[in-house]
Amino acid sequence: GENVEQHPSTLSVQEGDSAVIKCTYSDSASNYFPWYKQELGKRPQLIIDIRSNVGEKKDQRIAVTLNKTAKHFSLHITETQPEDSAVYFCAASSVAGSARQLTFGSGTQLTVLP
């Protein structure tokens, strides 16, 4: 089955700096890669996603890049703000029976220091 590894597990940055979180996946058939932000005690919220036919996608301060050959994808947050502090999860969508399941990384605790 699919295996997703995520690094780093914790990341502290100064407000205004950039943050980068990296993930690798194992199943070359995976074709959809969402990123979720989860604040303490809250549900995971989709913040950006990318499909395998695209190499990069940007939405304001957030961007995601995908390298299919190397099987890795990254989340980039620029001009970080204290409200960006949360746990971020990457995921890869692979086949499970007739379903498309999400396999998640282990998460990155991002702390933005004011």
Q: Which is nearer to other proteins, 7 or 78 (CB)?
A: 7
Length of the chain: 114
d(CA 4, CA 77): 20
Nearer to other proteins, 68 or 78 (CB): 68
Q: Give me the least distance between CB of 8 and other proteins, in Å please.
A: 14
Closest separation between CB of residue 37 and other proteins, Å?
11
Closer residue to other proteins in complex, CB, 10/18: 10
Q: Residue 82 Cβ, how far from other proteins at the closest point, in Å?
A: 21
Q: Which of 1, 22, 14 is nearest to 88 (CA)?
A: 22
Interface residue list for other proteins (CB under 8 A): 1, 4, 6, 31-32, 34, 36, 42-46, 49, 51, 89, 91, 93, 95-107
Nearest of 40, 27, 110, 113 to residue 75 by alpha carbon:
110
Q: Which of 17, 33, 28 is nearest to 75 (CA)?
A: 33
